């Protein structure tokens, strides 16, 4: 009986979320032979499709952090990408609102961080000016961010995949990494078809470069590939964010509305889809499980009670019974601190040639995806 088939590849990208697809497109454009492995039956089926679909301006992140750098540089490139390729998006702007004077200090901290990230377009305005922009709003003061927008994230991911495939990349769906090892001149991965998990047969892929962009699964994938790099694998911490939609009426807002930030998140904010429909969230719900297969994405209706209270701080006119459970997403973090930065581990950090891990890639990874792709591709070329 013959053993598993050994497939030769140049670069293997693990995970077809927005970051994995952006890196695949960038490397393929640079002439690398790229294979993308995705355990789900479609691209972007987890974190990349369960978010607010906001193009962030770069306001909240520590100056000098990877999040801040990627968000600001990626934002401008993302707007240009969407315009050039016809990806639906809208630069609608957002208001960050202090509903009482005690919250104005939090706005000042946002403004200082934004300035530290090179965002000079953030404008402090009075509560009166904010209400003139959005008459249904309750505000003592606000920050106006004209660079914030919304995007059709799935259309964007399809455009990245199209770009990658145009330069020769290939995508394999329902393929999971079951194991592997770092060898002297290559990395060998064992893969399995997730639809036949009881089948012991598996293919093997020998690659020069492996980029682990598995999102919620990134730590699991790292620990399945044998080698000294495993000792640097960070812990997993999952936070679920629940969203509620507005039913029966349209929200009287044309811009995104964010409250002053709170510990653990940006508060329950109002975002608009490209059709102008409102949704609210996410909240912050710590999860007891660290197994992605055990995540329950259902939104408990009872969580809506807290949503009403939070939303009415800045929109007092929210009608009773107007919210309905919509969807949820999970943030892949590496410790409980909300401001934890992205973590990119390559050979210069862990010593395993050709192996790259991306940990903790939550928001603003969608906004920063093109900048992240350039950074990782440059790192691969340099090492």
Quote the pLDDT of residue 264.
54
Which residues are within 8 A (CB) of 88 and not within 5 positions of it... i.e. 6 or more apart? 82, 151, 152, 155, 274
- Residues 106, 216, single domain; the answer is no
Kindly state the DSSP code that residue 232 receives in the 8-state scheme.
G
- Indicate the Cα dihedral angle 350, 29, 156, 48, nearest 10°: -20
Residue 64 resides in a domain: no
Of 54, 50, 62, give the one whose Cα is nearest residue 17: 50
Which residues are within 8 A (CB) of 302 and not within 5 positions of it... i.e. 6 or more apart? none
Quote the pLDDT of residue 266.
72
- Residues 314, 343, single domain; the answer is no
- Residues 300, 161, single domain; the answer is no
Report the CATH number at residue 119: 3.30.9.10
Distances (CA, A) of 198 to 193, 194, 201, 202, 365: 9, 9, 9, 11, 34
Pairing of strands 175-182, 187-193: antiparallel
Report the CATH number at residue 40: 3.50.50.60
Residue 79 resides in a domain: no
Of 342, 368, 374, give the one whose Cα is nearest residue 74: 368
What are the structure tokens assigned to 262, written together? 């709170």
3-state helix, strand, coil in the chain (%, to 5): 35, 30, 40
Residue 203 resides in a domain: yes
- Residues 130, 211, single domain; the answer is no
Q: What CA–CA distance (Å, rounded) separates 258 from 137?
A: 11
Quote the pLDDT of residue 294.
96
Quote the pLDDT of residue 4.
63
- Residues 211, 360, single domain; the answer is yes
Quote the pLDDT of residue 201.
52
Of 326, 279, 325, give the one whose Cα is nearest residue 150: 279
Quote the pLDDT of residue 265.
61
Residue 67 resides in a domain: no
What are the structure tokens assigned to 245, written together? 């939609």
Indicate the number of domains in the chain: 2
Quote the pLDDT of residue 337.
62
Residue 1 resides in a domain: no
Residue 82 resides in a domain: no
- Residues 228, 202, single domain; the answer is yes
Residue 76 resides in a domain: no
Residue 227 resides in a domain: yes
Per-residue pLDDT of the chain (383 residues; tens, 9 = 90+): 345 678 899 999 999 999 999 999 999 999 999 999 999 999 999 999 999 999 999 999 999 999 999 999 999 999 999 999 999 999 999 999 999 999 999 999 999 999 999 999 999 999 999 999 999 999 999 999 999 999 999 999 999 999 999 999 999 999 999 999 999 999 999 998 876 554 545 689 999 999 999 999 999 999 999 998 999 999 999 999 999 999 888 899 999 999 998 655 678 999 999 999 999 999 989 999 999 999 999 999 999 999 999 999 999 999 999 999 999 999 998 886 655 899 999 999 999 999 999 999 999 999 999 999 999 999 999 99
Within its chain, how far is the Cα of 271 from the centroid? 16
Q: Rounded to the nearest 5 degrees, what angle is found at the Cα of 339, between the Cα atoms of 265 and 88?
A: 65
Q: What CA–CA distance (Å, rounded) separates 227 from 129?
A: 58
- Residues 228, 241, single domain; the answer is no
Q: How far apart are the first and last CA of the chain?
A: 40
Q: What CA–CA distance (Å, rounded) separates 53 from 18?
A: 12
Structural domain boundaries, residue 313: 94-146+237-333
Whether the Cβ atoms of residue 280 and residue 311 lie closer than 8 Å to each other: yes
Quote the pLDDT of residue 99.
95
Quote the pLDDT of residue 280.
97
- Residues 316, 175, single domain; the answer is no
Quote the pLDDT of residue 1.
36
- Residues 200, 266, single domain; the answer is no
Q: What CA–CA distance (Å, rounded) separates 367 from 76?
A: 9
């Amino acid at each position: 009986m013959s053993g598993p088939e050994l497939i030769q590849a140049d670069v293997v990208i693990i995970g077809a979320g927005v970051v994995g697809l952006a890196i695949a497109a960038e490397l393929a454009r640079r002439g690398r032979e790229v294979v993308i492995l995705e355990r789900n039956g479609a691209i972007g089926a987890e974190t990349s499709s369960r978010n607010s679909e906001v193009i962030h301006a770069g306001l909240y992140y520590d100056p000098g952090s990877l999040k801040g750098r990627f968000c600001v540089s990626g934002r401008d490139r993302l707007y240009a990408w969407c315009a050039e390729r016809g990806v639906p998006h809208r630069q609608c702007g957002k208001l960050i609102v202090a509903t009482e004077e005690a919250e104005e200090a939090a706005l000042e901290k946002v403004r200082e961080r934004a300035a530290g990230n090179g965002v000079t377009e953030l404008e402090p305005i009075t509560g009166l000016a904010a209400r003139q922009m959005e008459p249904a709003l309750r505000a003592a003061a606000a920050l106006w961010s004209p660079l914030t927008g919304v995007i059709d994230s799935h259309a964007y991911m399809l455009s990245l995949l199209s770009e990658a495939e145009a330069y020769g990349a290939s995508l394999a769906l329902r393929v999971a990494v079951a194991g592997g090892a770092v060898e002297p001149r290559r990395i060998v991965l064992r893969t399995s078809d997730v639809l036949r998990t009881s089948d012991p047969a598996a293919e093997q892929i020998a690659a020069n470069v492996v980029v682990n962009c598995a999102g919620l699964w990134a730590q699991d994938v790292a620990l399945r590939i044998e080698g000294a790099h495993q000792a640097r694998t960070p812990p997993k911490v999952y936070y679920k964010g629940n969203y509620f939609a507005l039913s029966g009426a349209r929200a009287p807002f044309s811009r995104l509305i964010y409250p002053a930030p709170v510990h653990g998140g940006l508060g329950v904010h109002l975002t608009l889809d490209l059709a102008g429909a409102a949704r609210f969230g996410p909240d912050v719900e710590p999860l007891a499980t660290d197994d992605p297969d055990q995540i329950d994405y259902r939104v408990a209706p009872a969580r809506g009670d807290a949503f009403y209270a939070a939303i009415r701080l800045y929109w007092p006119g929210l009608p009773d019974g107007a919210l309905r459970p919509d969807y949820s997403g999970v943030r892949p973090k590496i410790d409980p601190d909300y401001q934890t930065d992205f973590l990119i581990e390559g050979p210069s950090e862990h010593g395993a040639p050709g192996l790259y891990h991306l940990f903790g890639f939550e928001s603003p990874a969608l906004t920063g995806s093109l900048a992240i792709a350039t950074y990782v591709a440059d790192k691969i070329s340099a090492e």
